[in-house]
Every structure is written in structure tokens, then in C-alpha cells.
Structure 1
């Protein structure tokens, strides 16, 4: 093979998809509860996004950020109107959005230290890898950037004990996604915001996975009444078209003037068309209310049918971002579910992660719960033979 083997790929080749369903090259159909890892929030090939991209394909694809891009300005307005933030920088991925946030925080505050949390995940560039509080992400790369400190997640006492005049920002996920689908508590998240105020540091919230309706709000921090200085977004932002964004308050704009940062492809006309069509649909209040209702339904069904099983230790999450902690290796469960026609993904060795499209029907959610219950019961039966 000509590719670097940087991924442990499943023995599956997906050749087509529509809505919540995908088909492989053998003609088998699957219910997709991975959504490209929280990317296809409107399902595969959502008509409104496909139409917007086709229209843009017929006009112009790329002009560079040397010129005015009306679609980009519209996309930025849609994002700022849905938040307490004022300006947007567009890039190509979540890691790039977090890179921009780190650079902006250091440049604006003229301080260097960024505090993040153990088991966090912020990306795989050198800075965002250094910001990530997981040793497995760091292995083999030598000395990391020395300006990141890690505190225990959901530890109010640790946050309250943070001191120093060298902290530029605290960077936090509302729900740790790759770290096991672990929601932050209200007390913890509010303590982080308060500590930023005390230290004169910026509050950066990484919403790469939790944003764009995944939890039933435009961004998950809004469920806790938080007021961040910077929010980063990607994944679901373009319905599968590669795009990321960093949103920031007006007070930061003087620190990100011409030449301070840039991106060749960031927010080009195609990306901006995908963003506009995606968020215009998802940020509709009735759509978000339905996501909340589906999330509650999904959790209720799992708690009724799956949580009582001996292998299951905990089910947690918000909206349609759910983690199920089990005894044993979660990857084994992923393989067995795939054989039964349900695609899932892990979040660490012992957590099954469920990320259905926000458009999944109640019937499809119920079908997924039945399959999970059946596979777990069969796995337990085999272990007891």
C-alpha cells in the first residue's frame, strides 16, 4: 500500500450513503452511529448542503483570502448570531482551530502558559498535541512544548488552587470526547470560568466535537451558561466538507490583525457554502429541540435495556453524544456490532461511543439499542460458557 499506516482501519469499504444509512462494496447496509466521528450531523449527503455545494461548484471554488468572500462573511454572521462571540477565523480542521486559539491567547495576553486537562484531546499538530492531556498521543515525539500544564478534569479543588500571573488561558472541553465521553460538571466548568477571571486569562472552550447541535444546543457550553472568550469548532460544521472555525470576542480583534495568522483554504467559497447550509438547518430552534428529545429518548432506552446488563458500568453524555463504559475491550463490541449492521466507535479502551446523525429517527435509535442489547447478551453468554 502507498499510504502511511497511521490508522487501524476496519475491514469495511463504504461506497455510498444517504441519511443514517451507508452501504459497503459488498452491498451490505449499515446503520451509521459514527457519523464520520460526529461530522455528518445531518446524515450523509443532506439535500440542503448538497444543493448549496452544487450551486457553489457551478460558480467559483477557490479565490484565496486575498479577496472578499461574501459566503464566508455570511457563515461568520450565522455563527456569531448563535453565540455571545463576535468574530470568526476560518481554517480547515479542529486542530487548526485550536492552533489559532492558542496563538491568539498568547499574543493577546502576552503570557505563555496554557492550562488544559488530563484525558483531554485538542488535536495532533505539535501545539495541540502538547495541549492534549493524554500520554499515548505524546509518545515518540520527544520534548513537548513546555508551556502546557494539565489539571485533573472535573476537579474543582485543583482549579481553585491554580495560581500565577503567567497563565494566558485555560482550555477545556465541555464533554471530553476522545477521553471517554465524560461530561464536565456544572460546578467544575463554572470554577474554570471564574478562575480565568481571577487570573486575567482567557477561557477557551474546545467545541470541535460537542458543537453544531450535537448536544441539543448550537454549542454545548450554552447548556451551562458559560461565557467563553474563544470557542473552536469543526467536525459537524460543514457536514463532511473540511472546515474549522475559531470564534472570539470583539476585545480580541486587535490582536489578530492582517498578517497575524492565515490559512490558504480556510473558509473558501465551497467551505463557506457548506457551513451556511449546515448551520441554517441545525441552529433552527425546533431542530435543536428535537435533538434534545431524541437524546433523552436514546438515554432512556439505553438505561432501561442496556444499563442493567452485567458488562455495563455506566452510560453518560448529552444530546446525541453518548458513551457506554463496559467491562472488557470496547473495540470487541464495535466489531460485533458492525457484523450486525451497526457502526459505532470507541472512546478509549473501555467506552463505546454513540454518535448518530442528529437526523436519526426514533425507530433507528430504538433499533440500535436492540442491537447493542443483543450483542452484549451474546457476549456475556459466551463468557459464561
Structure 2
């Protein structure tokens, strides 16, 4: 296919046409069970009527006025987010990388320190600051020199991490589950010790909830499941159910460091985005939704682990909530292709992990059907190679 686009993505031979609920339809009329949710973004399902209605109504009222105006919708959404998190201040942006940039800037300004500690195999974005905070050399390649002041401690290794967090540390940024790094859950004790160590040294704790937030793990935010007390939280992806929007939330005492002119964005927090977030949060807070996520998670892990016991190539099924990684002994690209042939789409997380991020609203029956396709693709791929 001829294209004028930069080849920055390894695109599939599928052309998106439309989507509804947990189903994606391509231009040639094929339907796929969506086990990826737009990379953990369309958490409430595609084309959710309440969210579509909210955005459509705002569309006719006005798209953009700029942040020189006061937006009633921003205040309403900020109140919702602060109520959900216990943090008191919110900055709206357009993407997860922007939210993390804001958090990094605020941490350095508030503490007067330079060093940001993150973790190996982490992923925090692709702009220069968030890329420098990302602990993956493949993300850095070709972009030297990166901004200084970033170090990477081994994930889930507290004894080593203790050497990295010092009185020179401005902030520690951590994912409770590393998504792009391979769906690697943080150990409870490790995360608790990282928090305690940061606080002991006067460093700020930033939790990156870009992929784990908005109900993905069965709590509104994954750090709540671990009982952590962050100074800042970043969220994007599922925040607007696919509409480009993000937020950086922080404690009240950080407010003086982000005054007029200290940071900004032209489009962040625009009325369309706020309409999408307001409606998405309303759906997220539907009674029973999060308990249903937990029930479907239990179903999914039990199903996959039972099936994978007999697999020659699956080494581990891991994750939390509806954020599932199937670690394999070999590259998973052929398995993902086989899944597409059978009518389901999913993602890799690195070269050897299948990443499943179905919509939180997927039915148990539809989820089971999708998981059966995953296992069929794994078995058939293994047979082909044997």
C-alpha cells in the first residue's frame, strides 16, 4: 500500500473501519474481538453511547477557547479526580507523555533537585524528558544526548534500588505494573519500600497510571489496590475512553510551584476532552463495574493458567485485573498473526509477551471466546514449529 506517512509504526495488514463495544470491523468487513482496547485506552468499550452523546453535545457548543478562559467542565472533572484520588490539584494535558513531562518538571521545581529515579524496563513516554525517564535503551537509540539527571534502578529489586534513591533525588517515578516492559507486576513489598525510601529522603513519589488507571486492575487506580500514598499520579489512555486527554494530579503543597507561566498547553483540558472524561468517569463509577472486572479477571487468569499448563512455549501468565501478560519462550508475533486469522486482536509487550487489555465492559462469554482464540493460536503456532 502506497503511503505518505513516516513508517513509525509496524502496522498490521488491517484497515480500521468502525468499532462498537468489544468488536472492531475492518474495511473488508471482517470482525475482530478486541483484546487490546486501543492499547488499554477504550476501557469502556468502543462507541459507548453515554460518552459519544456527551462529546457530541459539546461538539455543537464549541471545541476550544484556550486556557485563558475558565472552563466549568475542567473544574467539574478536576473535582471528580481529586475526590477519587485524595490528591488536591490537577493539570490537564493531551497524552500520557505530556502528563509525565509535567510531573517531572514539577518535581524538580518543587524539590530544587535534579535527579529522577525510574526503573529498568519502564515506559513513561517518547518526548525527551519522559523518554529519558524510560528505562529501555531501545527507546533511547538515535536520540542522544538525552537530558541528564535520570537513573534506572532494577525493578522489583529493593536491595539495589536502595542505592539509587538518595537525598539528591527529586522524584521516583514508578509503574505498579510495567505494561510496555512486559506486563510485569510490582511486588507489594517492593512498592511499599520504594514509597518509604522516597519519603525518607524527601523525594516525591510519582505513580504512572497511564496504562494501569481507570479501572484496568479492578480499582479506579492501581496504586489504590497496593495501598500506596503517592505525591503525584499521571493518567491518560482510558481517561477519555480514547479521546486524547491526560491529567497530572498532585498534592496541595505542590500548587505554589506551578503558577502562571510555569507550564502550559494550548489544547489540554479543552471542552471536548472534558466532556469525554466527565462521561467516562460516570461510567467508571457505575455500581458493580469494578467488581465485575475482578470477576472477569479471575475467570481469565484461571482459564489461561489451566490451559497453559500443557503448553511447551508459555512460561508464565501474569498481571492484574484485565491487564494480562502471557510470557513465552519465543517471539509472539506469529501467535498474534494467527489470532487475527481466527478473529481476535491483541498486542505484544516486548518480543516474547502477549499482552491482553480487553475492554472492561466485555461480557464473560465474549472474553471466554477471545481467550479460546488466544490458546488455539498458541497451540497451533507451537505445532507448526515442532
TM-score (norm. length: structure 1):
0.98
Which shows bigger deviation, 49-58 or 299-308?
Answer: 299-308
Over the residues paired in the alignment, what is the CA RMSD in angstroms? 1.0
Change (3 A) 1:307 1:348: farther
Between the two proteins, the alignment pairs up a number of residues equal to 384
The yes-or-no answer on 1:145 pairing with 2:147 is yes
Query: Which residue of the partner structure matches residue 4 of structure 1?
Result: 6
The yes-or-no answer on 1:15 pairing with 2:17 is yes
SS at match of 2:267: coil
Could you list the runs of 5+ residues in structure 2 that have no partner in the other structure?
none
Asked if 1 retains the 8 angstrom alpha-carbon contact of 2:117 and 2:165, the reply is no
* Distance across 1 between alignment mates of 2:195 and 2:58: 40
CA deviations over 1:185-209 (Å, ceiling 9, x no partner) = 0011001100111110000000000
The yes-or-no answer on 1:197 pairing with 2:194 is no
Asked if 2 retains the 8 angstrom alpha-carbon contact of 1:307 and 1:314, the reply is no
* Distance across 1 between alignment mates of 2:113 and 2:87: 22
Asked if 2 retains the 8 angstrom alpha-carbon contact of 1:213 and 1:283, the reply is no
Correspondent of 2:384 among 379, 382, 385: 382
Superposition deviation, residue 308 in structure 1: 2.9
CA deviations over 1:140-170 (Å, ceiling 9, x no partner) = 1122112000000001111233353211000
Superposition deviation, residue 285 in structure 1: 4.5
TM-score (norm. length: structure 2):
0.98
Change (3 A) 1:140 1:162: closer
For 1:1-385, list aligned pairs within 5 A.
Answer: 1-384=3-386
* Distance across 2 between alignment mates of 1:276 and 1:239: 10
Asked if 2 retains the 8 angstrom alpha-carbon contact of 1:116 and 1:149, the reply is yes
SS at match of 1:246: strand
* Distance across 2 between alignment mates of 1:224 and 1:142: 36
Could you list the runs of 5+ residues in structure 1 that have no partner in the other structure?
none
SS at match of 2:61: coil
CA deviations over 1:170-195 (Å, ceiling 9, x no partner) = 00000000000000000110011001
* Distance across 2 between alignment mates of 1:167 and 1:93: 25
Superposition deviation, residue 365 in structure 1: 1.1
